[in-house]
């Protein structure tokens, strides 16, 4: 072993310093044993980053192992920068989701922008060309000024970055709930396409091959972001402001083009984004995957500021940087490609046979670790898991008896109030700021059940969507996580796609609290169950723990990013109604399980401010059958539109079919008189799962019934489209008809968020602050 001496000026390693680096005493002892000596400051920094939750998954790895990850469609499962799935015709899709919650809580605009940048790089480093972005967002109530600032800033950050790089943002979800007030969730997903043969992994290989830093120079920004992401948000986080990273989408666009060109050129063997924990994690992970040693000379890394220490260079999270392992002797060819794109490259190290991870500063070794398992040799934890009594009590609450408000005497009031709930209302205020049509692949953009993108040079298309109802997971973690997978599957199926595979982003609280770890382990179990039932393996994902603030943890929110495949673009199906006299059919039970009342519903939360009761039961086998039934109906040419029931139940689903496309409002006559003895609010707003509203020509009814029976699904004709009508009429027994004027429903649904945001000072502040200094 080489001598590694502390660098002059390094702070002394004290227990306080160790604690500041987020290492426990045991972890520190483990490090000392690994090295056979005390670490230097630089080494402590490296390990603190690599063993942070963000990089090491120390609390979740054993749980994640239980997820199904295999299937004939999977070309690359978890462990790489992104998962890759075969979609036929020699094409493959790479996709991944990632969180940027804490940076966005501190600086929403840059936090969200750099989140988009990071996930983009994860996808194009697999060799895929990004073709779509999605984002899954959670905020507190829009009544709160800081929340409006966060919402406005995050949306602008996502838009400005994606728009500039030229990748359409096509789908997502936005939920508003007090549980996320101080700790918003910002998850970004990217989807890319490539030929199967173009797949490249980030495995350092070939002794003597040069390691090259590409892209932006390294500055002092974001140092320790990975450990930052692994702590609770607190007042102290405010002191971390200098760690804010600034995104540069213009450089990202150049990096994207140059990287794809490099990958196709055959001059390189591996490429990886310098993401969380920057140079440290990218080089350590590449070495580990290739089971080789590496040596890095920090004095060769191009820096933005003078006097940066090895510690700073190694841990900087400056954006828009990549690490490349090139073939020896091809350095000039690599640099020629980069120069063409106005990017710089510097050889900073080498793949070596000796099994060590070594960092030098010129000739002086400043850090050295034996072996090549720096990341996986981290400690593993399986802390105590115990459900909180509070939640057991909440779930057992009988909510059927919640008295109606006086206003509810007018069922139109209730329906309008539901549609104007920011969680349900149209999100066009946000996605109108996102270019959703660039690259000309967007068959269905934001506003449908899922986004649909055609695959060029093929007759196929893919459908993508993110989903999760955190309230369900909070009240019943395993069932709620199953429901998240199933809702995402239903959404892609509504557009005509067969669910293929998922990626997931697990946003949870501090795992050291037993009630949080219980939620995490139950949720992962639920995801596994649903994915097995639906045959949608997990190809990757991201774990974001410590999403809490002094006021408590967020709802446990395992966001599912679903990929579906449409074999023939002719099967692409819209969500809204269009053709007069079409029959409206509900696939699935109108009330779900007898036990599925209003527990955990948006109705209770929105109208009564109650979060309680057992959320609707999610039966993944039933979901699979319902989806199979829907897809067979679609392929048979029987379905003119399809929209699933989710937040707000059947009532909201019907209204959305009628008014979601504001330029083409379409009425209907619905008759649910058969259930006249069930209270209307329960009929309309219960959120029973596995239900899809379809429209079809009357002549298809027989076929639909036959297909449904075959799949053990109950089809029910509940009404007819009335294209000329100006209202949605819902008949619920003799002399009881809710006549809802379409214009009023449309106003409730479409104006809710703009009315709040256009008038808000916080929104003006975001626009003003981004006025000149950003895109």
Partner 1 sequence: MKHRVYRIAVHIVPRAGLLDPQGDTITDALHSLGFKHVQSVHVGRHIVIETEAPDALQAETAVQEMCEKLLANPVTEDFEITSAVPV
Partner 2 sequence: MKFGIVTFPGSNCDYDAYRAVVDQLRAEATYLWHKTEDLEGVDVVVLPGGFSYGDYLRAGAIARFSPIMRQVVEHARRGGPVLAICNGFQIACEAGLLPGALVRNAGMRFVSDAVHLRVENAGTLFTSGYEQGAVLRIPIAHGEGRYVADSTTIGRLEDDDRIVFRYCDPAGAVTGDANPNGSMRGIAGIVSDEGNVLGMMPHPERAVDPLLGPPDGLPLFESLLARMAV
Give the one entry of Mg ion, ligand ADP, partner 1, none that residue 244 binds, where binding means its C-beta sits below a cut-off of 5 to 8 angstroms depending on kind. Answer: partner 1
Q: In terms of Cα–Cα distance, which of 394, 404, 395, 398 is closest to 684?
A: 404
Contacts of the segment 528-531: beta carbons below 8 A, 24+ positions apart: 528/66, 528/67, 528/68, 529/478, 529/482, 529/620, 530/481, 530/482, 530/484, 530/485, 530/486, 530/489, 530/618, 530/620, 530/623, 531/67, 531/68, 531/485, 531/502
Give the one entry of ligand ADP, Mg ion, partner 1, none that residue 107 binds, where binding means its C-beta sits below a cut-off of 5 to 8 angstroms depending on kind. Answer: partner 1
- Residue 775 binds to partner 2 (criterion: CB under 8 A): yes
Give the one entry of partner 2, ligand ADP, partner 1, none that residue 449 binds, where binding means its C-beta sits below a cut-off of 5 to 8 angstroms depending on kind. Answer: ligand ADP
Residue 563, CA distances (Å) to 70, 479, 630 in order:
15, 21, 17
**Burial bucket for residue 697 (CB in 10 Å: 0-12, 13-18, 19+):** middle
Read off φ and ψ for residue 393, nearest 5 degrees. Answer: -65, -45
- Please give the Cα distance from 122 to 454 (Å, whole number): 22
- Residue 317 binds to partner 1 (criterion: CB under 8 A): no
Write out the binding residues for partner 2, residues 101-130 only, by CB under 8 A: none
| Shortest distance (Å) from residue 117 CB to ligand ADP | 17
Torsion sign across C-alpha atoms 281, 286, 291, 295: negative
Buried b (16+ CB within 10 A) or exposed e, 532-555: ebbebbbbbbbbbbbbbbeeebbb
Give the one entry of Mg ion, partner 2, ligand ADP, none that residue 254 binds, where binding means its C-beta sits below a cut-off of 5 to 8 angstroms depending on kind. Answer: partner 2
775, two tokens: 């895109």
Length of the chain as a residue count: 775
Judged by CB under 8 A, which stretch of 163-171, 203-211, 550-558, 678-686 contacts partner 2? 163-171
Of 16, 24, 70, 250, which one interacts with partner 2 (CB under 8 A)? 250
Asked if 100 is an active-site residue, the reply is yes
CA 206 vs. chain centroid, Å, equals 35
Asked if 54 is an active-site residue, the reply is yes
- Residue 79 or 637 having the CB closest to partner 2: 637
User: Number of residues in contact with partner 2, rule: CB under 8 A?
Assistant: 35
Q: In terms of Cα–Cα distance, which of 129, 121, 163, 160 is closest to 274?
A: 121
72, two tokens: 């004939």
| Shortest distance (Å) from residue 160 CB to partner 2 | 7
- Residue 427 binds to partner 2 (criterion: CB under 8 A): no
Give the one entry of ligand ADP, partner 1, partner 2, none that residue 761 binds, where binding means its C-beta sits below a cut-off of 5 to 8 angstroms depending on kind. Answer: partner 1
Of 107, 177, 632, 644, which one interacts with Mg ion (CB under 5 A)? 644
Give the one entry of Mg ion, partner 1, ligand ADP, none that residue 458 binds, where binding means its C-beta sits below a cut-off of 5 to 8 angstroms depending on kind. Answer: none
- Residue 110 binds to partner 1 (criterion: CB under 8 A): yes
Interacting residue ranges for ligand ADP, rule: CB under 6 A: 135, 137, 169, 171-174, 427, 430-431, 446-449, 467, 491, 646-647
**Burial bucket for residue 276 (CB in 10 Å: 0-12, 13-18, 19+):** buried
- Residue 160 binds to partner 2 (criterion: CB under 8 A): yes
Judged by CB under 8 A, which stretch of 64-72, 213-221, 554-562, 587-595 contacts partner 1? 213-221
**Cβ proximity of 280 and 313 under 8 Å:** no
Q: In terms of Cα–Cα distance, which of 751, 553, 767, 757 is closest to 145?
A: 757
Of 319, 466, 503, 689, which one interacts with partner 1 (CB under 8 A)? 319
Give the one entry of partner 2, ligand ADP, Mg ion, none that residue 174 binds, where binding means its C-beta sits below a cut-off of 5 to 8 angstroms depending on kind. Answer: ligand ADP
Of 433, 458, 671, 737, which one interacts with partner 2 (CB under 8 A)? 433
- Residue 438 binds to partner 2 (criterion: CB under 8 A): yes
Give the one entry of ligand ADP, partner 1, Mg ion, none that residue 221 binds, where binding means its C-beta sits below a cut-off of 5 to 8 angstroms depending on kind. Answer: partner 1
Of 42, 135, 372, 491, which one interacts with Mg ion (CB under 5 A)? 491
Q: In terms of Cα–Cα distance, which of 261, 285, 266 is closest to 57?
A: 285
* Catalytic member of 21, 54, 224, 711: 54
**Cβ proximity of 310 and 213 under 8 Å:** no
| Shortest distance (Å) from residue 432 CB to partner 2 | 6
- Residue 447 or 477 having the CB closest to ligand ADP: 447
Give the one entry of Mg ion, partner 2, ligand ADP, none that residue 385 binds, where binding means its C-beta sits below a cut-off of 5 to 8 angstroms depending on kind. Answer: none
* Catalytic member of 21, 59, 100, 638: 100
Read off φ and ψ for residue 561, nearest 5 degrees. Answer: -105, 115
- Residue 13 or 463 having the CB closest to Mg ion: 463
**Cβ proximity of 180 and 140 under 8 Å:** yes
Of 139, 369, 434, 577, which one interacts with partner 2 (CB under 8 A)? 434
For residue 773, give the DSSP letter: T
**Cβ proximity of 320 and 332 under 8 Å:** no
- Please give the Cα distance from 152 to 759 (Å, whole number): 12
769, two tokens: 């602050």
Point out the residues that are catalytic. 54, 100
Binding positions for partner 1, rule: CB under 8 A: 106-107, 109-110, 216, 219-221, 241-242, 244-248, 250-251, 304-305, 318-319, 342, 761, 764-765, 767-769, 771-774
Binding positions for Mg ion, rule: CB under 5 A: 449, 491, 644
Binding positions for partner 2, rule: CB under 8 A: 156, 159-160, 163-166, 248-251, 253-254, 341-342, 431-443, 454, 456, 569, 663, 767, 771, 775
């Amino acid at each position: 072993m080489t001598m590694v001496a502390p660098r002059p000026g390094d702070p002394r390693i004290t227990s306080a310093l160790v604690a500041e680096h987020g290492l426990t005493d045991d972890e520190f002892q483990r490090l000392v044993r690994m090295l056979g000596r005390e670490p230097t400051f630089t080494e402590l920094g490296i390990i603190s980053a690599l063993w942070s939750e963000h990089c090491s998954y120390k609390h979740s790895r054993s749980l994640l192992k239980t997820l199904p990850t295999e299937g004939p469609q999977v070309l690359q499962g978890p462990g790489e920068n992104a998962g890759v799935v075969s979609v036929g015709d020699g094409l493959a899709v790479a996709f991944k989701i990632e969180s940027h919650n804490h940076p966005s809580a501190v600086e929403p605009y840059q936090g969200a922008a750099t989140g988009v940048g990071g996930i983009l790089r994860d996808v194009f480093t697999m060799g895929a060309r990004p073709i779509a972005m999605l984002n899954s967002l959670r905020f507190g109530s829009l009544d709160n000024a800081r929340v409006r600032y966060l919402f406005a800033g995050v949306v602008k950050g996502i838009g400005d970055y994606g728009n500039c790089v030229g990748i359409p943002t096509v789908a997502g979800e936005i939920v508003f709930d007090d549980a996320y007030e101080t700790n918003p969730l910002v998850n970004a997903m990217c989807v890319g396409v490539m030929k199967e043969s173009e797949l490249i992994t980030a495995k350092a290989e070939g002794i003597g091959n040069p390691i090259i830093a590409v892209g932006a120079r390294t500055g002092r920004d974001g140092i320790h972001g990975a450990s930052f992401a692994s702590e609770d948000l607190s007042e102290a986080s405010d002191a971390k402001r200098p760690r804010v990273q600034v995104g540069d989408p213009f450089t990202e666009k150049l990096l994207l083009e140059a990287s794809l060109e490099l990958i196709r050129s055959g001059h390189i063997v591996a490429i990886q984004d310098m993401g969380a924990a920057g140079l440290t994690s990218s080089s350590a992970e590449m070495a580990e995957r290739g089971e080789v040693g590496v040596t890095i000379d920090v004095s060769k890394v191009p820096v933005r500021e003078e006097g940066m220490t090895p510690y700073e260079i190694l841990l900087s999270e400056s954006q828009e940087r990549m690490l490349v392992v090139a073939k020896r002797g091809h350095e000039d060819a690599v640099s020629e490609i980069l120069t063409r794109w106005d990017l710089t490259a510097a050889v900073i190290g080498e793949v070596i046979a000796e099994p060590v991870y070594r960092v030098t500063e010129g000739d002086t070794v400043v850090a050295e670790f034996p072996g090549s398992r720096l990341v996986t040799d981290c400690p593993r934890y399986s802390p105590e898991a115990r459900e909180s009594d509070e939640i057991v009590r909440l779930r057992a609450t009988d909510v059927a008896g919640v008295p109606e408000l006086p206003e509810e005497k007018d069922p139109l009031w209730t329906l309008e109030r539901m549609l104007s709930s920011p969680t349900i209302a149209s999100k066009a205020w946000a996605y109108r700021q996102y270019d959703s049509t660039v690259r000309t692949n967007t068959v269905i953009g934001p506003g449908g059940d899922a986004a649909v993108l055609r695959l060029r040079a093929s007759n196929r298309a893919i459908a993508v969507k993110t989903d999760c109802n955190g309230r369900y997971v909070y009240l019943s973690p395993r069932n709620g996580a199953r429901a998240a997978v199933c809702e995402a599957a239903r959404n892609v199926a509504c557009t005509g796609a067969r669910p293929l595979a998922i990626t997931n982003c697990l946003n949870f609280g501090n795992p050291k609290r037993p009630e949080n770890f219980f939620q995490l382990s139950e949720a992962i179990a639920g995801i596994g169950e649903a994915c097995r039932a639906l045959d949608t393996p997990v190809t990757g994902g991201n774990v974001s723990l410590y999403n809490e603030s002094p006021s408590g943890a967020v709802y446990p929110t395992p966001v599912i990013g679903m990929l579906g495949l449409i074999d023939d673009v002719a099967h692409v199906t819209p969500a809204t109604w269009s053709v007069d006299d079409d029959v409206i059919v509900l696939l699935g039970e109108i009330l779900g399980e007898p036990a599925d009342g209003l527990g955990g519903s948006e109705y209770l939360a929105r109208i009564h401010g109650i979060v309680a009761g057992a959320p609707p039961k999610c039966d993944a086998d039933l979901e699979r059958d319902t989806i199979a039934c829907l897809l067979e109906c679609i392929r048979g040419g029987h379905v003119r539109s399809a929209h699933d029931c989710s937040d707000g139940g059947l009532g909201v689903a019907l209204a959305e079919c009628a008014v979601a496309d504001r330029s083409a409002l379409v009425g209907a006559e619905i008759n649910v008189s058969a259930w006249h003895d069930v209270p209307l609010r329960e009929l309309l707003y219960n959120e029973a799962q596995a239900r899809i509203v379809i429209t079809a020509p009357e002549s298809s009814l027989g076929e639909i019934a036959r297909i449904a029976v075959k799949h053990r699904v109950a089809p029910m004709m509940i009404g007819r489209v009335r294209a000329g009508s100006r209202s949605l009429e819902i008949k619920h027994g003799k002399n009881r008809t809710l006549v809802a004027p379409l214009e009023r429903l449309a106003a409730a649904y479409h104006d809710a968020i703009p009315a709040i945001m256009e008038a808000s000072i916080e929104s003006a502040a975001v626009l003003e602050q981004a006025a000149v200094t950003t895109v």
